[in-house]
Chain A
Amino acid sequence: EAAVTQSPRSKVAVTGGKVTLSCHQTNNHDYMYWYRQDTGHGLRLIHYSYVADSTEKGDIPDGYKASRPSQENFSLILELASLSQTAVYFCASTGTGGTQNTLYFGAGTRLSVL
Protein backbone atom coordinates (compact mmCIF):
# COMPACT_ATOMS: atom_id res chain seq x y z
CA GLU A 1 0.00 0.00 0.00
CA ALA A 2 1.16 3.51 -0.81
CA ALA A 3 2.75 5.14 2.21
CA VAL A 4 3.85 8.63 3.15
CA THR A 5 5.52 9.08 6.51
CA GLN A 6 6.08 12.44 8.17
CA SER A 7 8.32 13.26 11.09
CA PRO A 8 8.02 14.59 13.65
CA ARG A 9 4.26 14.27 14.26
CA SER A 10 4.33 17.36 16.40
CA LYS A 11 6.87 20.05 17.12
CA VAL A 12 7.14 23.07 19.37
CA ALA A 13 9.61 25.66 18.12
CA VAL A 14 10.75 29.07 19.31
CA THR A 15 10.39 32.19 17.23
CA GLY A 16 13.49 32.71 15.12
CA GLY A 17 14.61 29.12 15.40
CA LYS A 18 15.18 26.68 12.55
CA VAL A 19 12.67 23.91 11.92
CA THR A 20 12.95 20.98 9.54
CA LEU A 21 9.97 18.81 8.70
CA SER A 22 10.70 15.52 6.99
CA CYS A 23 8.70 13.38 4.60
CA HIS A 24 9.47 9.91 3.26
CA GLN A 25 7.44 8.02 0.68
CA THR A 26 7.63 4.42 -0.44
CA ASN A 27 5.26 4.89 -3.37
CA ASN A 28 7.97 5.29 -6.01
CA HIS A 29 6.24 8.55 -6.94
CA ASP A 30 8.00 11.34 -8.76
CA TYR A 31 5.83 14.19 -7.44
CA MET A 32 5.87 15.38 -3.85
CA TYR A 33 4.13 18.32 -2.20
CA TRP A 34 4.07 20.29 1.03
CA TYR A 35 0.78 21.85 2.14
CA ARG A 36 -0.16 23.75 5.25
CA GLN A 37 -3.58 23.59 6.81
CA ASP A 38 -5.07 26.43 8.80
CA THR A 39 -8.56 26.82 10.10
CA GLY A 40 -10.50 28.88 7.61
CA HIS A 41 -7.94 28.50 4.83
CA GLY A 42 -8.16 24.86 3.92
CA LEU A 43 -4.93 23.47 2.45
CA ARG A 44 -2.45 25.69 0.66
CA LEU A 45 0.51 24.56 -1.43
CA ILE A 46 3.93 25.70 -0.19
CA HIS A 47 6.47 23.87 -2.35
CA TYR A 48 6.50 20.88 -4.63
CA SER A 49 8.99 18.75 -6.52
CA TYR A 50 8.80 16.51 -9.56
CA VAL A 51 12.34 15.17 -9.51
CA ALA A 52 15.17 14.72 -7.05
CA ASP A 53 17.42 17.74 -6.49
CA SER A 54 14.78 20.12 -7.81
CA THR A 55 12.00 22.03 -6.06
CA GLU A 56 9.37 24.50 -7.18
CA LYS A 57 7.47 27.26 -5.40
CA GLY A 58 3.81 26.77 -4.72
CA ASP A 59 1.22 29.35 -3.82
CA ILE A 60 2.65 30.45 -0.45
CA PRO A 61 6.43 29.84 -0.48
CA ASP A 62 7.56 32.88 1.52
CA GLY A 63 9.39 31.91 4.70
CA TYR A 64 9.88 28.31 3.58
CA LYS A 65 12.54 26.35 1.74
CA ALA A 66 12.30 22.82 0.43
CA SER A 67 14.82 20.10 -0.27
CA ARG A 68 14.46 16.90 -2.33
CA PRO A 69 17.71 14.95 -1.90
CA SER A 70 16.23 11.73 -3.30
CA GLN A 71 13.03 10.48 -4.88
CA GLU A 72 11.83 9.19 -1.52
CA ASN A 73 12.59 12.19 0.69
CA PHE A 74 11.25 15.73 0.71
CA SER A 75 11.94 18.21 3.51
CA LEU A 76 10.39 21.53 4.43
CA ILE A 77 12.68 24.00 6.14
CA LEU A 78 11.75 27.06 8.17
CA GLU A 79 15.01 28.99 8.59
CA LEU A 80 13.52 31.59 10.94
CA ALA A 81 10.27 30.29 12.38
CA SER A 82 7.56 32.84 13.05
CA LEU A 83 4.30 32.79 14.97
CA SER A 84 2.35 32.90 11.72
CA GLN A 85 3.82 29.56 10.71
CA THR A 86 1.93 27.73 13.43
CA ALA A 87 -0.17 25.25 11.45
CA VAL A 88 -0.53 21.61 10.50
CA TYR A 89 1.75 20.60 7.63
CA PHE A 90 1.00 17.80 5.23
CA CYS A 91 3.25 16.06 2.79
CA ALA A 92 1.78 14.24 -0.20
CA SER A 93 2.96 12.33 -3.24
CA THR A 94 1.53 11.33 -6.58
CA GLY A 95 2.67 9.44 -9.60
CA THR A 96 1.83 9.27 -13.26
CA GLY A 97 -0.48 6.96 -15.17
CA GLY A 98 -3.33 5.55 -13.13
CA THR A 99 -2.39 7.41 -9.95
CA GLN A 100 -2.11 10.72 -11.73
CA ASN A 101 -3.67 13.48 -9.65
CA THR A 102 -4.43 11.12 -6.78
CA LEU A 103 -2.56 12.47 -3.80
CA TYR A 104 -1.39 10.21 -1.00
CA PHE A 105 -1.03 12.17 2.21
CA GLY A 106 1.02 11.70 5.32
CA ALA A 107 -0.56 11.97 8.75
CA GLY A 108 0.61 15.55 9.20
CA THR A 109 2.96 17.48 11.49
CA ARG A 110 1.45 19.85 14.00
CA LEU A 111 3.84 22.79 14.42
CA SER A 112 3.47 25.32 17.19
CA VAL A 113 5.78 28.33 17.13
CA LEU A 114 6.00 30.16 20.45
Chain B
Amino acid sequence: TQTVSQSDAHVTVFEGDSVELRCNYSYGGSIYLSWYIQHHGRGLQFLLKYYSGNPVVQGVNGFEAEFSKSDSSFHLRKASVHWSDSAVYFCAVSGGYAQGLTFGLGTRVSVFP
Protein backbone atom coordinates (compact mmCIF):
# COMPACT_ATOMS: atom_id res chain seq x y z
CA THR B 1 0.00 0.00 0.00
CA GLN B 2 1.30 3.43 -0.93
CA THR B 3 0.39 6.59 0.94
CA VAL B 4 1.06 10.26 0.36
CA SER B 5 1.06 12.95 3.02
CA GLN B 6 0.98 16.67 2.35
CA SER B 7 1.42 18.34 5.70
CA ASP B 8 0.16 21.81 4.78
CA ALA B 9 -3.47 22.22 3.82
CA HIS B 10 -3.09 25.93 3.00
CA VAL B 11 -0.09 28.15 2.36
CA THR B 12 -0.26 31.93 1.96
CA VAL B 13 2.57 33.83 0.28
CA PHE B 14 3.16 37.19 -1.37
CA GLU B 15 4.07 37.64 -4.99
CA GLY B 16 7.83 37.34 -5.43
CA ASP B 17 8.25 35.17 -2.34
CA SER B 18 9.64 31.66 -2.50
CA VAL B 19 7.46 28.71 -1.56
CA GLU B 20 8.07 25.10 -0.60
CA LEU B 21 5.29 22.52 -0.50
CA ARG B 22 6.02 19.37 1.45
CA CYS B 23 5.24 15.83 0.37
CA ASN B 24 6.12 12.62 2.19
CA TYR B 25 5.31 9.16 0.94
CA SER B 26 5.45 5.55 1.99
CA TYR B 27 5.99 2.78 -0.50
CA GLY B 28 8.06 -0.36 -0.48
CA GLY B 29 9.35 -0.54 -4.03
CA SER B 30 10.41 1.55 -6.98
CA ILE B 31 8.11 4.48 -7.42
CA TYR B 32 7.23 7.36 -9.62
CA LEU B 33 6.69 10.65 -7.78
CA SER B 34 4.94 13.58 -9.36
CA TRP B 35 3.29 16.92 -8.72
CA TYR B 36 0.13 18.29 -10.30
CA ILE B 37 -1.54 21.68 -10.17
CA GLN B 38 -5.27 22.34 -10.15
CA HIS B 39 -6.61 25.81 -10.79
CA HIS B 40 -10.09 26.56 -9.52
CA GLY B 41 -12.74 24.69 -11.48
CA ARG B 42 -10.23 22.98 -13.73
CA GLY B 43 -8.70 19.56 -14.16
CA LEU B 44 -5.28 18.65 -12.85
CA GLN B 45 -2.21 19.52 -14.91
CA PHE B 46 1.15 17.81 -14.73
CA LEU B 47 4.07 19.81 -13.31
CA LEU B 48 6.96 17.35 -13.00
CA LYS B 49 7.91 13.81 -12.08
CA TYR B 50 10.81 11.76 -10.74
CA TYR B 51 11.71 8.13 -11.18
CA SER B 52 15.46 7.87 -11.02
CA GLY B 53 18.66 9.83 -11.61
CA ASN B 54 19.22 13.43 -10.53
CA PRO B 55 17.11 13.90 -7.39
CA VAL B 56 16.31 17.50 -8.37
CA VAL B 57 13.86 17.68 -11.24
CA GLN B 58 12.77 20.76 -13.12
CA GLY B 59 9.20 21.33 -14.17
CA VAL B 60 7.15 23.91 -15.96
CA ASN B 61 6.87 27.56 -14.94
CA GLY B 62 9.95 27.56 -12.70
CA PHE B 63 8.89 24.74 -10.38
CA GLU B 64 11.37 22.17 -9.18
CA ALA B 65 11.20 19.28 -6.76
CA GLU B 66 13.77 17.32 -4.83
CA PHE B 67 13.59 13.62 -4.04
CA SER B 68 15.06 12.31 -0.80
CA LYS B 69 15.02 8.58 -0.22
CA SER B 70 16.26 8.93 3.36
CA ASP B 71 13.42 11.31 4.24
CA SER B 72 10.82 9.65 1.95
CA SER B 73 10.09 13.09 0.63
CA PHE B 74 9.50 14.89 -2.66
CA HIS B 75 9.12 18.58 -1.84
CA LEU B 76 8.11 21.13 -4.46
CA ARG B 77 9.73 24.57 -4.62
CA LYS B 78 9.50 27.78 -6.55
CA ALA B 79 11.91 30.66 -6.05
CA SER B 80 9.55 33.51 -6.92
CA VAL B 81 5.79 33.00 -7.09
CA HIS B 82 3.35 34.85 -9.31
CA TRP B 83 -0.33 35.50 -8.63
CA SER B 84 -1.18 32.93 -11.29
CA ASP B 85 0.45 30.25 -9.13
CA SER B 86 -2.56 30.42 -6.82
CA ALA B 87 -4.00 26.91 -7.06
CA VAL B 88 -4.15 23.56 -5.31
CA TYR B 89 -1.05 21.40 -5.63
CA PHE B 90 -1.19 17.62 -5.44
CA CYS B 91 1.67 15.24 -4.80
CA ALA B 92 1.22 11.73 -6.22
CA VAL B 93 2.97 8.38 -6.16
CA SER B 94 2.74 5.28 -8.33
CA GLY B 95 4.39 1.93 -8.47
CA GLY B 96 3.58 1.58 -12.15
CA TYR B 97 1.30 3.18 -14.72
CA ALA B 98 -1.20 0.34 -14.73
CA GLN B 99 -2.15 1.10 -11.12
CA GLY B 100 -2.87 4.76 -11.57
CA LEU B 101 -1.63 7.36 -9.12
CA THR B 102 -2.28 7.75 -5.41
CA PHE B 103 -2.75 11.41 -4.56
CA GLY B 104 -2.22 13.41 -1.42
CA LEU B 105 -5.00 15.65 -0.13
CA GLY B 106 -3.48 18.71 -1.74
CA THR B 107 -2.04 22.02 -0.58
CA ARG B 108 -3.88 25.21 -1.45
CA VAL B 109 -1.52 28.07 -2.29
CA SER B 110 -2.81 31.62 -2.13
CA VAL B 111 -0.55 34.28 -3.62
CA PHE B 112 -1.25 37.89 -2.64
CA PRO B 113 0.05 40.94 -4.51
Chain A residue total in the interface (Cβ 8 A)? 26
Which A residues are CB-close (under 8 A) to B101? 45, 101, 103
Question: Which of A33, A35, A40, A105 contacts B45, CB < 8 Å?
Answer: A105
- What bracket does the count of chain B residues touching chain A fall in? 20 to 34
CA distance in complex: A4, B42 (Å): 12
Measured in the bound complex, the distance between the Cα atoms of B45 and A58 in whole Å is: 21
Q: Is A64 an interface residue (CB 8 A)?
A: no
B100 at the interface (CB under 8 A from A): yes
9 contacts between A and B (CB under 8 A): A41-B105, A45-B102, A48-B98, A90-B44, A92-B44, A101-B49, A103-B44, A105-B43, A108-B43
Name B's A-contacting residues (CB within 8 A). Answer: 32, 34, 36, 42-46, 49, 51, 90, 94, 96-106
- Chain A residues with CB under 8 Å of chain B are 4, 31, 33, 35, 40-45, 48, 50, 58, 90, 92, 94, 96, 100-108
